[in-house]
Structure 1
Amino acid sequence: MEPDLFSWLKRAQVPYVILCQANRDDSNFSAEDLRAGRYILSQAKAVVFVSRHNRMLAERQFGISLPHAVEIQNPPPLRDWPELAWPPASPVKLATVSRLESTAKGLDLIIPALADALGHQSDWQLDLYGEGPDKEKLQQLAAAHGISDHIHFRGFVADISTIWQEHHMMLLPSRFEGCSIAMMEAALCGRPVLATPVGGVDEWIVDGETGFVAKDISQAALVDALRRAWLARADWAQMGSAAKQRAHQLLDPQSGDKLLNVITGAVI
């Protein structure tokens, strides 16, 4: 909590709206931060969360109820979601779409988990899309676990649908999220997602039906989820279709207007 911001908000008495884009379960707040957080959250005209998970987590962290909180999606950038044919069965192609860093995105968890769960298999690959500060560390991690031949760094791709034309499943091993837009995009393109139980996942992924959800945020839980997924890979195409259907049911095309209304309503 920035003390200058806290002091200014108390002094200025101006209306404000809080937009929470992510929240993490392992946040440890000092007593001073808790007091400041409760004040700032309770005095806001509205608190906007991008997932139910993040809202419930914030209420638990600060020990307060937020009746003035609302949940509004971040809209994915694509508007016309293509009908993509299912890729050839071999090789099994997995993908992550995120910045290449491990603190939030958990990429340091998924590489050893893949080595443990699938290292004895030959017919698979993981393509990592994105750029970031941990690329070299992740390359070294793949080498240390003997799976460098299976791990490929693909950089940035402008058209997300081209990724899902070629890949069977998205991996989302994050330690925390608000609600992953990349997850939403994969589902809207008809691909199942294997994820940790972070923000938005419980709303968008039904374990065993539209994807796979690890029991917790750990390497061991990811190994278990990967093994379950591998054994069920004959069902992935059907799961992708179910993921697409569910995603279209959940997608809110009015989310931008809703956020604007919340902000303008706070100051008018």
Structure 2
Amino acid sequence: MVRICFIAANEYAPWGGSEELWFRSALRLAQQGFAVTVGVKAWKPEASQIAALEAANCQVVRRRSPTTLPQRLLSRLQRWQGHDPLLDDHRPDLAVISQGNNLDGWGWMEACQGRQIPYGVISQAAAENFWPPDDLAVKLAALYQAARKCFFVSQANLKLTLKQLAIDLPQAQVVANPFNVPFTTQLPWPQPKEPLQLACVARLDPVAKGQDLLFEVLRTQKWRDRPLQISLFGNGSNRQTLEQLQQLWQVDAIQFGGFVPDVVSIWKTHHALMLPSRYEGLPLSLVEAMLCGRPAIATDVAGIGELVEDNRTGFLAVAPTVACLDEALERAWQRRHDWYEMGQAAAVAVRRQIPADPVAVFVEELKSLL
């Protein structure tokens, strides 16, 4: 039986949109009869998706941080001996390393290379302001070039990685993430038409998602005087700080909606997506909003500009700054009566670029590497 191992390099949160591609691919391959092993960090509590993997007969290996003295000594001994329980005990025919960004899975790539285990790499994001130092860049370049395939979720992030590592990657490919709305979704336009209801669907993490930029824009008198509400959907490590900032600045246009698993329900009551990101991959929330017939007001970072056509299917801020975001939102406001038609154009455009079943496409790519 062919053995495939998915390694989630994520060390930051129990779950996120960056985990969906490897997770759903693992389930699909298990259903097709492959022996699937998954390596994840041990979280308490852990995401419900881990139980779903085990129910599908995937073997889950949890990385635990040693807490007791015997555990720390054993961990140190294993490192000295070069033993990795996931790779050495399961010896996959192919390892698939999923990175939250383009830099954080190099240790797993190195471990696979040292064991002569073929591997592929998924990079879910990249950032202009996170450049590796030269010694790490040299190491990363060699590890990326040794991969059977390097998958990126946007052309922009692929190009940025090539620039940051000063290499070519002929085996690189852009793939799409799975989404959480039906591909055939059609929704009526939300009523009433005012106040305008925008949704910012993103984890509460200003470093990446830029919610603070939005607060800066909305605290100005111009926006205080307009009938506009923006709901922040999602959770994250900065929720408390953002709530305090909203109260400190008295930004009444902002509401916190928490995490909502039923994404379609968001777009039944909201007119457009607001996405003030500083860096990205290709946001699931953007794909889902467009599939639901909603235009986007977003910063032109990473893959966003690959989906959104400025002034036709949405409004792009040329940079993640307060001034640029305000300019894009102002253009959107002046054309608010065109949003329905723009949303319909967005729905057509996204279906031309994103496959109906991204997991099926990705799984076939993985099988071609065996």
TM-score by length of 2: 0.68
Q: 1:145 to 1:37 in 2, by over 3 A?
A: same
Quick one: distance in 2 between partners of 1:3 and 1:247?
A: 32
Q: Which of 226, 235, 238 is the equivalent residue of 2:341? A: 238
Q: Structure 1 250/94 Cα, relative in aligned 2: closer, same or farther at 3 Å?
A: same
State yes or no: 1:49 paired with 2:159: no
Q: Tell me how far apart the structure 1 counterparts of residues 108 and 172 of structure 2 sit (CA, whole Å).
A: 21
Are 2:138 and 1:35 equivalent residues in the alignment? yes
Aligned partners of 2:298 and 2:315 also within 8 Å: yes
SS of 2:268's equivalent in the other structure is: helix
Q: Which amino acid aligns with 2:223?
A: G
**Partner residue of 1:177 out of 280, 286, 295:** 280
Task: Find the partner of 2:320 among 217, 224, 230.
Answer: 217
Is 1:123 aligned with 2:227? yes
Provide the TM-score with structure 1 as the length reference: 0.93
* Letter in structure 2 aligned against 1:133: S
Q: Which amino acid aligns with 2:301?
A: V
Distance 1:205 1:120, change over 3 A: same
Q: Name the amino acid aligned to 1:135.
A: R
Conserved? CA contact 1:116–1:223, under 8 Å: no
Q: Which runs of 5+ in 1 are unaligned?
A: none
Distance 1:79 1:231, change over 3 A: same
Q: Deviations over 1:243-264 (max 9, x none)?
A: 1111121121242123222223
Q: Secondary structure at the match of 2:219?
A: helix
Question: Aligned partner of 1:139: which letter?
Answer: E
Aligned residue among 189, 198, 203 for 2:306 = 203
RMSD: 1.8
Q: Which runs of 4+ in 1 moved over 3 A?
A: 1-7
User: 1:113 maps to which residue?
Assistant: 217
Give the one of 180, 204, 207 matched to 1:100: 204
Q: 1:167 to 1:13 in 2, by over 3 A?
A: same
- Aligned residue-pair number: 266
Contact 2:180 2:263 in 1 (8 A): no
Q: Which residue of 2 aligns with 1:229?
A: 332
How many Å separate the matches in 2 of 1:117 and 1:6?
51
Q: How many angstroms does 1:28 deviate by?
A: 2.1
In the TM superposition, what is the alpha-carbon distance from 1:80 to its structure 2 partner? Answer: 4.6
Counterpart for residue 135 of structure 1: 239
The structure whose Rg is larger is 2
Provide the identity percentage.
Answer: 33
Aligned to 1:17: 120
Task: Check whether the contact 2:152–2:173 (CA below 8 A) recurs between aligned residues.
Answer: yes
